[in-house]
Amino acid sequence: MNSNEHSGLSASVMESDFLQSVLDGISDSIKIIDRKFNLVYTNKAGLEIIGKPIDKVMGEGHKCFKEFYKNPEQCSYCVVDQVFRSGAPAFNIFRTGFGASYKLKEISAFPLAGKSGKVEHVIEIVRDVTELKGNLAAGVEFSEIISQDPKMKEVFELIEQVAATNSTVLINGETGTGKELVARAIHKASSRSDKKFVAMNCGSFSDSLLETELFGHERGAFTGAEQRRIGKFEQGHHGTLFLDEVGDISPNMQVKILRALQENEITRVGGNETIKIDARYIYATNVDLKEAVRQGKFREDLYYRINVIPINLPPLRDRVGDIQLLAEHYLGIFNNMVGKNFRGFTTNSLDKMMRYRWPGNIRELKNIVERAVILNKGSYIEKVDVPQKESHDETSTEDSDKELKDVVAEAERIYLMDILKAYHGNINQTAEKAGVNTRTVHRKMKEFGLTKELFKP
Ligand SMILES: Nc1ncnc2c1ncn2[C@@H]1O[C@H](COP(=O)(O)OP(=O)(O)OP(=O)(O)O)[C@@H](O)[C@H]1O
Ligand SMILES: [Mg+2]
């Protein structure tokens, strides 16, 4: 092996046959990557994963992401890149393959400084942890969507199924539940993945702006239209068009969009030419569209056209088991970004997060973890800036927007969590204390995404 030609690593180390055979005997993939993402060393296991002869992957022109992934976008959580940027080690777990044959891989990356002290190379170690974490983490990560909740596992399965088709998808979920993430995952897993994913937030534009954003305009279509402009529909031709916050579209624009969908063609504003569009449509909303139809705010015909395959994302408070998982995931990311090394959260801060209602869902959690990483000191995160009122005063009448069933569910969730905690997750004792049977306890736990492991001391 003459990798030292490219790597500039100590020749005596890399040429040692003894060391070579040790490295080749290890079942983990071990690679060394330089700042240009060229592969400068791989052991035998690494080469087996790549599945190409050594001269086809080493040195200039063989960027690591092109060898490992069909689509470099999949490298957006690239830990190698993170190490180059932060200078600190980075870790991630990712999932490869679909269906029953998927594998969970743990990836660790460590900096290798050159003589100048600058990180010149990264050692990347990939270990198959499918068996190790299989049960615990079945479906922990799906194309960057992190969850271990059974309700989300169904979502992962749906993503896989719809990705293989061209069907229209409607993603329902509260703000920050990951609607856009799911839309992107569908696109990535679909046959259109090498084409564009075009996202459009329909909620933040006036009618006339939304119309030109979606359909584009011809030169001179209106004062100020100095150039022809290509709209989102045309940009998404052959790709995926993601229309977000469709519940906010005015009746007038609903008609125009419906027409475009029925005819599969559009006309630019101020133009006559009809332009054929072939796109996969994914819609998202945080309002109850069916209710909007009932109230006459949303056209029924448009509703049926977009509600072909609904995907419902549960709010974070109904997947309590994901709170720690996500908090730790983001802790790792912000540790790297900020250059800190927190090992985890204290029981106290985790408890606070688990009780909180998370109206802003995962986006809010991410922001709170980011703030905590910046503001805390020591080895564990002790202080999390979770609004206290929200976490306790659930039955207050202040928030009169909430429906009775939501208030009741929230009170039930907090009550159940308190008893489960007191009895360290013992279901029989919890049922007895709550005055219900164990079946009810199991059903409620499922509803809120609680597991007894969460309450073991
Ligand atoms: N399961 C998840 N795992 C990891 N990150 C997540 C997950 N769900 C959401 N996120 C992150 O939370 C943030 C919000 O997600 P996203 O923008 O997809 O939500 P949304 O439902 O589209 O929100 P909104 O309704 O406000 O547009 C993003 O940064 C996203 O990466
Ligand atoms: Mg969104």
164-202 burial string, b = 16+ CB within 10 Å, else e?
eeeebbbbbbbebbbbbbbbbbbbbbbebbebbbbbbbb
Confidence (pLDDT) at 417: 93
> Which helix (H) or strand (E) segment is 29 a member of?
strand 29-34
69: pLDDT strictly greater than 80: no
Q: Tell me, what's the pLDDT at 3?
A: 43
Residue 340, pLDDT above cutoff 50: yes
User: Angle, to 10 degrees, between the axis of helix 347-355 and the axis of helix 404-422?
Assistant: 150
- In the structure, ligand 2 is a single-atom ion and the residues with CB under 5 Å from it are 179-180, 244
The pLDDT assigned to 57 comes to 81
Distances (CA, A) of 431 to 236, 439, 455: 53, 9, 15
pLDDT band at 336 (very low <50, low <70, confident <90, very high): confident
- At what angle are helices 79-86 and 321-338 packed, to 10 degrees? 40
- Of 62-76, 166-180, 263-277, 407-421, which gets the smallest average pLDDT? 62-76
Name residue 244's beta-bridge partners.
201
pLDDT at residue 103, as a whole number: 66
Residue 97 DSSP label: S
pLDDT at 392: 44
- The residue whose CA has the least distance to atom 30 of ligand 1 is 178
pLDDT of residue 140: 45
- The mean of the pLDDT values for the chain is 84
pLDDT at 196 over 80: yes
* Residue 103 CA to its chain's centroid (Å): 18
Ligand 1 site-directed mutation target among 145, 153, 180, most atoms within 8 Å of CB? 180
When comparing pLDDT for 26 and 393, which is higher? 26
Which ligand 1 atom is at minimum distance from the Cα of 152? 1
Q: Which domains does the chain have, with CATH numbers?
A: 4-138 (3.30.450.20), 146-312 (3.40.50.300), 316-455 (1.10.8.60)
Task: Please report the atom of ligand 1 found closest to the CA of residue 147.
Answer: 1
Nearest CA, atom 10, ligand 1: 178
Supply the pLDDT for residue 91: 73
Cα(448)–Cα(409) distance, rounded to whole angstroms?
Answer: 9
Using CB distances shorter than 6 Å, the residues near ligand 1 are: 145-147, 173, 175-181, 244, 286, 326, 362-363, 366
Cα–Cα–Cα angle for 255, 166, 145, nearest 5°? Answer: 100
- Cβ(279)–Cβ(239) below 8 Å: yes
What integer pLDDT is reported at residue 5 of this predicted model?
Answer: 43
Structure confidence at residue 101 (pLDDT)? 52
